């Protein structure tokens, strides 16, 4: 019975230490976001736009990664679209002529 109590208290101690470490990490990131000079002491590139860490995410108020910069490529010339051949009209027979769908009209008086 005593062995279970020790195991339970050790797990509880680890759990509490993990919770405490998480709270300290969040509060220190919150403090670093409030004082930019302290953030620059930890990260030398803290004032660059590409810098991203927990402090900048807390300071900006969101956790979504920003969209990557759009790729810009010079348009390649398209030579096969420069010349458009002349179009000639072609007569095509209607497919509805042979089906005769309009041959019969509905009855004038429908019987129920």
Q: What are 93-109's pLDDT values in tens digits?
A: 777 666 666 566 666 66
Q: What are 6-56's pLDDT values in tens digits?
A: 566 888 889 999 999 999 999 998 888 888 888 888 888 877 877 888 888
* Burial group, residue 55, by CB count within 10 angstroms (0-12, 13-18, 19+): buried
Distances, alpha carbon 98 to alpha carbons 57, 103, 106, in Å: 70, 11, 20
Radius of gyration over alpha carbons of the chain, in Å? Answer: 37
Q: Where are the domains of the chain?
A: 2-99
| Contact status, residue 55 vs residue 33, Cβ threshold 8 Å | yes
Q: DSSP for 29-60?
A: HHHHHH-HHHHHHH-TTTTSTT---HHHHHHH
| Contact status, residue 84 vs residue 78, Cβ threshold 8 Å | no
The pLDDT score that the predictor gives to residue 88 is 85
- The Cα–Cα gap between 95 and 49 comes to 64
When mean pLDDT is compared across 31-35, 57-61, 71-75, 96-100, the lowest value belongs to: 96-100
């Amino acid at each position: 019975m005593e062995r279970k109590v020790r195991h339970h208290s050790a797990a509880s101690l680890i759990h509490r230490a993990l919770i405490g470490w998480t709270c300290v990490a969040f509060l220190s990131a919150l403090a670093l976001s409030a004082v930019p000079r302290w953030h620059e002491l930890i990260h030398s590139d803290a004032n660059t736009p590409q810098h991203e860490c927990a402090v900048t995410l807390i300071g900006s108020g969101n956790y979504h990664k920003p969209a990557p910069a759009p790729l810009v490529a010079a348009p390649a010339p398209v030579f096969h679209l420069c010349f458009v051949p002349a179009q000639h009209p072609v007569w095509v027979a209607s497919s509805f002529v042979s089906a005769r769908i309009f041959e019969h009209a509905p009855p004038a008086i429908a019987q129920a």
